[in-house]
Amino acid sequence: MSDEVPQSEAAENPSHLEAARREKLRRVQELGHDPWGQRFDDQLPIGSVLKLQEQVYYENEAGEKTPLPEDREAYIAWRNENRRVELHGPKVRAAGRIVLERTKGKLIFLDIMDWTGKVQIFVGRKQVGEENWALAECMQLGDIVGVDGEFKLTNTGEPTIFAEKLHFLSKSLETPPDKYHGIHDPEIRQRRRYLDLIHTDGVMERFLRRSKIVQSIRQTLASESFVEVEGPTLHSIAGGAAARPFTTHHNALDMDLFLRIALELHLKRLLVGGIERVYELGRVYRNEGISPKHNPEFTMLEAYQAYGDYRSMMDLTEKIIVNALEATGQPLKVQYGEHEIDFTPPFERKTYDELFLEHTGVDPKDEAAVAKLAAEIGFDIKGRHPDVIKSDVFEEKVEDALEGPIFVMDYPASICPLTKRSQTEPEIAERFELFVKGMELANAYTELNDPDLQEQLFKTQLEGMSAEDSMAKMDNDFVTALRNAMPPAGGLGIGIDRLVMLLTNATSIREVILFPLLRHEA
């Protein structure tokens, strides 16, 4: 490196904390080591290292290999009586980030952490020699280092790798957060998720668990012969749900486009095309408010099964959730905040009307009574469709009260423009929503496959409902697809982030999304 190499602004004008770190970096280079490290083979995950503890032994007076007292107290007592006895343990190589450092004279204790665990490293000046000692003196909190050594116990019974050779793997130029308190500022936790993953207990576990849940869902669907596909995220008509879309533009085609708000309409086209069990697990985008339960981009599962109906989707929903619990090593009754959620199947199943009556005391079929109740709550009822009014009351009085898990079945048909009507009661749509802790977790229909009715419903804008609030957006291309015969089918949507919230005991959706949307930094 010559002096003419341009340096970053930070390098030219470092804080005293950074200057100290750059000085250590320089000394690592002086010692002939690469501060940014090299490929490091054959290292054992720290979690696996810790499992080797039972292999630690000593030789008794007869020269026989003897295991150590298992109990830590007993070991310490034994050790105090037998300080001179040499311990033997397996040779290991490990790598990780330094999260704690204690120096004691010519000793350095480092705690290094990888994504499987944390282990202590003992560096004794006499034991490792001057070269390694000099390198160890350059190691700071936040640096990533490797070690070769013998895995055994200290006098206090701490499982420890006794360093024989040290490796510098990557230098941190930034000072890590408080080693005891970590990061409390939720803004830093979200903007700099890497620090959160390192320093906040449970964060790594939660995101690894999210991955396991998603993996399990794919397995469950595969075992039911569903095929995963990828539909377009750029739509010319943002249909399939009631939400405001994000808008964007394609320059070469000079074409306004929307980011998808649902997966539905393209998956149903594939049902027409003969992919009889099809699903997509992907991101959708809704230009709506942000809350502990809402992020502008979130992950959705939608699955469609030819020749099924909404009842088939209830069974599938239960399977997906129960398997996800099993895959993450959880019981069917999970703790969520102060409460317990019992996911033991079958989940409770009740109709919309039953629940309406139960929670309001008003007969849902009595339009006048429902309207009166809505007016009492404070809803504007003028010029609005009776079912829209009923739906408002339902959301206000019933949904939040549903502890669940409960399948709410049979919605008013007029608010479900993509759903097949009940054969016996045409004013009822074969639709369910799964509620848990007042949160809508899943939504499913017997899919409407009558192209004429679909076209008619797309045209019908319910009174008092804005275009954005309506799921009914004319999509001629989709209607044309239906004209080619879509098999009768069940369809299911599950909000993956919310499922992960429930299965990882998170109260905010931002705790289960790695990089939630934030405004520009102040």
Site for RNA in 108-127 (CB under 7 A): 109, 111, 120, 122, 124-127
Tally Cβ neighbours within 10 Å of residue 56.
Answer: 18
Q: Compare residues 183 and 306 and give the one whose CB is closer to RNA.
A: 183
What one-letter code names the amino acid at 265? L
Per CB under 7 A, 497 contacts RNA: yes
Give the total of residues touching RNA (CB under 7 A).
78
Q: Compare residues 285 and 478 and give the one whose CB is closer to RNA.
A: 285
Residue with tokens 């069940």: 490
Q: Name residues contacting RNA, limited to 461-480 (CB under 7 A).
A: 469
Among 50, 52, 85, 100, interactor with RNA by CB under 7 A = 100
Per-residue x/- marks for RNA, 380-409, CB under 7 A? ----------------x-------------
Among 7, 11, 13, 17, interactor with RNA by CB under 7 A = 17
Beta bridge partners of 118: 113
Among 216, 317, 443, 454, interactor with RNA by CB under 7 A = 443
Q: Which of 459, 500, 441, 491 is nearest to 306 (CA)?
A: 491
Per CB under 7 A, 157 contacts RNA: yes
List CB contacts of 493: < 8 A, sequence separation 6 or more.
262, 263, 264, 300, 301, 302, 442, 443, 444
Per CB under 7 A, 293 contacts RNA: yes
Per-residue x/- marks for RNA, 346-385, CB under 7 A? ----------------------------------------
Q: Name residues contacting RNA, limited to 212-251 (CB under 7 A).
A: 241-243
Q: How far apart are CA 224 and CA 208, in angstroms?
A: 25
Per-residue x/- marks for RNA, 158-177, CB under 7 A? x-x-x-----------xxxx
Q: Which stretch binds RNA (CB under 7 A): 63-71, 179-187, 204-212, 451-459?
A: 179-187
Token couple for 382: 């003028």
What one-letter code names the amino acid at 109? F
Beta bridge partners of 303: 279, 492
> Taking the alpha carbons of 39, 40, 42, 43 in that order, is the dihedral positive or negative?
negative
Q: Are the C-beta atoms of 243 and 338 separated by less than 8 Å?
A: no
Token couple for 477: 């291309």
Per CB under 7 A, 447 contacts RNA: no
Tally Cβ neighbours within 10 Å of residue 42.
Answer: 7
Per CB under 7 A, 77 contacts RNA: no
Token couple for 317: 């929903």
Q: How far apart are CA 520 and CA 59, in angstroms?
A: 63
Q: How far is the CB of 89 from RNA (least distance, A)?
A: 12
3-state SS of 438-459 is CEEEEEEEEECCCHHHHHHHHH
Among 50, 237, 290, 334, interactor with RNA by CB under 7 A = 290
Per CB under 7 A, 204 contacts RNA: no
Q: Which stretch binds RNA (CB under 7 A): 49-57, 286-294, 360-368, 408-416?
A: 286-294
